[in-house]
Amino acid sequence: MVRAIIKFALRITTLFLFRVKVVGKENIEKDKPYILCPNHISNWDPPTMVASLKRNDIYVLAKEELFVNGFIKWLAVKVHAIPVKRGKQDTALLKTSLKVLKENHLLMIFPEGTRHGIEKRGKIQNGAVLISLMSGVPIIPIGIQAKYIPFTKVKINVGKPMDLSEYKDKKNDKETLENLSKTLMEEIIRLTNEKI
């Protein structure tokens, strides 16, 4: 109930501040698990995504620093945010992510690992691809086109699912993980730059 109220409040807020347009939402089928992988340009990305997609079962990987403040932590837990220890191996996080997908929910991961990762030419994180290979769940690349200036348009370009099941036996191959992650990021960039 609390989550529904928070999502409603987020939806009202984002719709008031931004004119959100979602293209390709049919690619996210009902009652199927997916790993959602958008680009990351603002702190507005997660709430806008959660508010704009129809499904209410979106779990979002978020940096653990957000869980320090009491109210923010409470809010994050209510909207199914999962803390991430950046730059560290986290077995518990991996187990939680696989459990979310096994229960047919959506898991949102920002593979850039930080805001404006593409622009900063940062290394693309392999976590989304690894979880996809371990779970057998497809990745849906997403391009967010926005400046998040109040009363301007935000466009969310949802791509087609990427089925990586043919590589499932190579989940421990670093080169395979990096190549697939690079392919994923190229598709996210294409969706981000595509005119919609």
Delimit the domains of the chain by residue range. 2-193
Q: Enter the pTM of the model.
A: 0.91
What is the pLDDT, as a whole number, of residue 66?
67
What token pair was written down for 134? Answer: 């371990």
What is the pLDDT, as a whole number, of residue 52?
92
Buried b vs exposed e over 176-194: b needs ≥16 C-beta within 10 Å?
A: bbeebbeebbebbeebbee
Contact 140, 161 (CB under 8 A): yes
2-193: CATH topology: Glycerol-3-phosphate (1)-acyltransferase (3.40.1130)
Nearest Cα to Cα of residue 52 among 7, 82, 17:
7
What token pair was written down for 39? Answer: 């680009």
What is the pLDDT, as a whole number, of residue 54?
85
Buried b vs exposed e over 116-125: b needs ≥16 C-beta within 10 Å?
A: ebbeeeeebb
What is the pLDDT, as a whole number, of residue 117?
54
Which residues on adjacent β-strands are paired with residue 157? Answer: 23, 143
Which residues on adjacent β-strands are paired with residue 22? Answer: 156
pLDDT block averages, 10 residues each, the chain of length 196 = 79 89 96 96 91 91 76 75 77 94 97 67 83 97 96 96 94 92 95 95
